[in-house]
Chain A
């Protein structure tokens, strides 16, 4: 079973990854768009109104998948950061740093949609309860990683410094997830549980899961796309990158 490690090893070379990500990109973006469209139609049109919140609950189909992605994106960034720090693989550094803006965007959407949802239902845009505060801290952690990465001139040093920050910030992930269990919060507990019973009717669950799948695909598509650009920035002087630019100039 040496095939998979060998394949990964080959893929970690920048030119191989550049080609691979380029081939994968249209499929990922396409399926994300398609599933997202079906999920949104299912959520906004087909799903029945909620017994308590009526139609207002439909923002869940944006809010919850984005909230999941804000945590998932941080997890991906931390794993890439660990690989970057221990094995010093150039590709891992690039991927870790390109996860940050995408994850930050999802976190931002989560906070904004949550706020829009909170005003009519709870009666407030914002409250300093544990779930909302820890999600805001998550956004600031993303900002910290992006800021540190851009503050240091040398891109590889910058990536390693920011990777350490990304790794340290991982302690916030369980706090975000369990905040509704550990503290008495205004935010309600988890609706969809991976293990155990989910508290949502099936007609509402399938569009939610489709949206979750679509946001995952979009995340990967976006990170791969950004990583290609990031690789070109790091490897700009190398032969493969020069050849690539020459090719596209001739074409």
Chain B
């Protein structure tokens, strides 16, 4: 490689390297500061703001969904399997909202329960036909194969 091209290559590599390091530091800093959501345990421990909006994340507890007849109001319990948090929401729920599903709700604490203005359902990266999912669930029930084989319903 002739000297001119070599110099250009070195200069460009240094520029990209410098920007790369800057980006890496930013990513690292954001990783520590960016809290997308709080879990019910963290709310219980007092880490979440009491008078400001925040996101509460967890799994919809089985058998906890109550719909108020004639309205769009639903209340349910979000759990991280250590602590529970009662959530109330008025509005249209996403298709994936169901028992045992991961959800991210936005809202504020009011009288010890979470008053949500938005409920988002999270889904995992697993895609399979219903028959396969049923077969895995059946095999799991019969032979108790490890839960990891299913890909997990929550992430």
Asked whether B96 lies within 8 Å of A200 as measured between CB atoms, the reply is no
Asked whether B94 lies within 8 Å of A121 as measured between CB atoms, the reply is yes
Asked whether A51 lies within 8 Å of B130 as measured between CB atoms, the reply is yes
Q: Is A184 an interface residue (CB 8 A)?
A: yes
Please report the number of residue pairs spanning A and B whose Cβ atoms sit closer than 8 angstroms.
117
Residues of A within 8 A of B97 (CB): 123
Most buried by B among A50, A120, A122, A200: A122
Q: Is B37 an interface residue (CB 8 A)?
A: yes
Mask of A120-131 contacts with B, CB within 8 angstroms, 1/0: 111110010110
Interface-forming stretch among B44-52, B68-76, B114-122?
A: B114-122
Whose C-beta in chain A lies nearest to the C-beta of B119? Answer: A123
Interface-forming stretch among B9-17, B58-66, B79-87, B138-146?
A: B9-17
Asked whether A49 lies within 8 Å of B129 as measured between CB atoms, the reply is yes
| Chain A stretch 184-223: residues in CB contact (< 8 A) with chain B | 184-186, 188-191, 199-201, 203-204
Asked whether B36 lies within 8 Å of A129 as measured between CB atoms, the reply is yes
A contact residues, range: 35 or more
Kindly provide the distance from the CB of A81 to the nearest chain B CB, expressed in whole angstroms. 9
Residues of A within 8 A of B132 (CB): 51, 201
Residues of A within 8 A of B93 (CB): 123
Kindly provide the distance from the CB of A202 to the nearest chain B CB, expressed in whole angstroms. 10
Residues of B within 8 A of A164 (CB): 12, 15
Whose C-beta in chain B lies nearest to the C-beta of A182? Answer: B31
A123-B97, A189-B125, A199-B126 as given contacts; A171 in contact with B19, CB under 8 Å: yes
Q: Is A57 an interface residue (CB 8 A)?
A: yes
Kindly provide the distance from the CB of A29 to the nearest chain B CB, expressed in whole angstroms. 30
Whose C-beta in chain A lies nearest to the C-beta of B23? Answer: A171
Residues of A within 8 A of B15 (CB): 164, 167-168
Q: Is A30 an interface residue (CB 8 A)?
A: no
Question: Could you tell me the distance between the alpha carbons of A221 and B42 in the complex, rounded to whole angstroms?
Answer: 53
| Chain A stretch 38-53: residues in CB contact (< 8 A) with chain B | 48-53
Interface-forming stretch among A11-19, A82-90, A151-159?
A: A82-90
| Chain A stretch 118-146: residues in CB contact (< 8 A) with chain B | 120-124, 127, 129-130
Q: Choose from B9, B96, B119, B127 the contact partner of A121 (Cβ within 8 Å).
A: B96
Asked whether B95 lies within 8 Å of A121 as measured between CB atoms, the reply is yes
| Chain A stretch 1-23: residues in CB contact (< 8 A) with chain B | none
Kindly provide the distance from the CB of A190 to the nearest chain B CB, expressed in whole angstroms. 6
A51-B132, A171-B23, A199-B125 as given contacts; A124 in contact with B95, CB under 8 Å: no
Kindly provide the distance from the CB of B62 to the nearest chain A CB, expressed in whole angstroms. 16
Mask of A69-87 contacts with B, CB within 8 angstroms, 1/0: 0000000000000100111
Kindly provide the distance from the CB of B131 to the nearest chain A CB, expressed in whole angstroms. 8
Asked whether A56 lies within 8 Å of B127 as measured between CB atoms, the reply is no
Q: Choose from A130, A184, A188, A201 the contact partner of B129 (Cβ within 8 Å).
A: A201
Which residues of B are in contact with A by a Cβ distance under 8 Å?
Answer: 5, 8-9, 12, 15-16, 19-20, 23, 27, 30-31, 34, 36-37, 57, 92-97, 104, 118-134, 151, 155
Which residues of A are in contact with B by a Cβ distance under 8 Å?
Answer: 48-53, 56-57, 60, 82, 85-87, 120-124, 127, 129-130, 164, 167-168, 170-172, 175, 182-186, 188-191, 199-201, 203-204
- 9 tightest A-B CB contacts, nearest first: A123-B94, A51-B133, A48-B129, A201-B128, A171-B23, A199-B126, A191-B125, A51-B130, A200-B127
